[in-house]
Structure 1
Amino acid sequence: MVEQGLIRAAQSGDRDALITLLREIEDHVYKTAYYILNNEHDALDAAQEALIRVYTKINSYEEKAQFKTWVQRIVTNICIDKFRRTKPSVSMDEHEMVFHDTQNVEHEVLTAYMAQDVQEAINRLPEHHRTVIVLRYLQDFSYNEIADCLNLPLNTVKSYLFRARQQLQTLLQDYQKGGVSG
């Protein structure tokens, strides 16, 4: 949680406070960008653009909304713009795994495959469903925070989340049956 005093100091021109503030939020900004865009290069670009926007617009932040919501709105809007400009692609990045114990090999492999399938399923969701899933389950936003971040009515957020979970359930049926999709 970002301290309000740090935000006020940054707004009053304290460069060190602003840099500290940017460092505190950069991981969350990148994580959101990566899960929405599913591409490391695009996520780095979007995160950089979002951090620059926070840097240049810090004085426009008002304490009406939580700072994290304000920042997530910025990065989400940048990602949505990038998403609309380019067709999403599924990343098939190989995961490096180090196995210290042969008994855990099967578990580690299944976990890696499941994580990849979940990411691919999230990527197949429509943009608005993917965004609410990322904010809710990867950034741990409340429904109200998502509504504020995306400037949507609360019931729309709930509806998007409900439909997104249904779609994910359908896309990941093989896991419910004990199999692996492929």
Structure 2
Amino acid sequence: MIQHKLIDACKNNSRKAQLRLYNQYCEAMYYVAFRFLKDSMEAEDAMQEAFIKAFTRIEQFTGEVSFGAWLKRIVINNCLDKLKARKLEMVAINEQTLATVEDENNWQIDDGIGVDDIKNEIDNLPEKYKYPLMLFLIEGYDHEEISEILGITQVASRTLVHRGKKKLQAELKKLKHGTGY
């Protein structure tokens, strides 16, 4: 069935269409949730809750973005809500002291560093850098989207991503060259 027909069927409460969409996206959405929650049971719960929200709010899906992107946003928001409920609060930044930070697209790391190394080092970053950096580098969101998801300004998003990248680069250098001492 073509994607838009499947979504239309979901809007008409077709359980069969919902199951097909679920089967099409569940694995990818589980991995998105797992990257945030680091617990398979919680990730599965977050993913399933996101599908329930998506199907109950399917009328809000306008088709401006792909269904997968729309669903992914619901999954990420659900994960962030779970993290907040766990009392993992993000540190607010005093925006009056922030300078505008230009994105550095010229970002290099050593050849011996793998994707798993980068993901592990992102996981070890302080919370205030970890989530904006995950959304930017791994999930591919821009600063406008990150600011909406995390409830911060775009300036704060740019700053957190910039500082997170610097901290990540420093940790990756330590990883490559030992302790750095």
| TM-score normalised according to structure 2 size | 0.66
Structure-to-structure mapping, 1:114-153, within 5 angstroms: 115=116, 118-127=118-127, 129-139=129-139, 141-143=140-142, 146-147=145-146, 150=149
Amino acid at match of 1:143: D
| Structure 1 residue aligned with 2:11 | 11
Amino acid at match of 1:46: A
Tell me the C-alpha RMSD between the 2 structures: 3.3
Amino acid at match of 1:78: N
Is the CA contact (8 Å cut-off) linking 2:135 and 2:146 kept in structure 1? Answer: no
Q: Distance between the aligned counterparts of 2:79 and 2:147, measured in 1?
A: 17
| Structure 1 residue aligned with 2:43 | 43
The number of aligned residues is 155
Classify the secondary structure of the residue corresponding to 1:172: helix
Is the CA contact (8 Å cut-off) linking 2:37 and 2:43 kept in structure 1? Answer: yes
| Structure 2 residue aligned with 1:28 | 28
| TM-score normalised according to structure 1 size | 0.65
Cα distance change on mapping 1:149 and 1:40 into 2, 3 Å: farther
Give the deviation of 1:86 after TM superposition. Answer: 2.0
Cα distance change on mapping 1:142 and 1:68 into 2, 3 Å: same
Cα distance change on mapping 1:166 and 1:74 into 2, 3 Å: same
Deviates more, 1:167-176 or 1:155-164: 155-164
Q: Considering fraction of residues, name the structure with more helix.
A: 1
Give the deviation of 1:33 after TM superposition. Answer: 0.9
Q: Distance between the aligned counterparts of 1:60 and 1:26, measured in 2?
A: 20
Identity of aligned residues (%): 26
| 1:9-38 superposed Cα distances (whole Å, 9 cap, x missing partner) | 211233222211122221221111111112
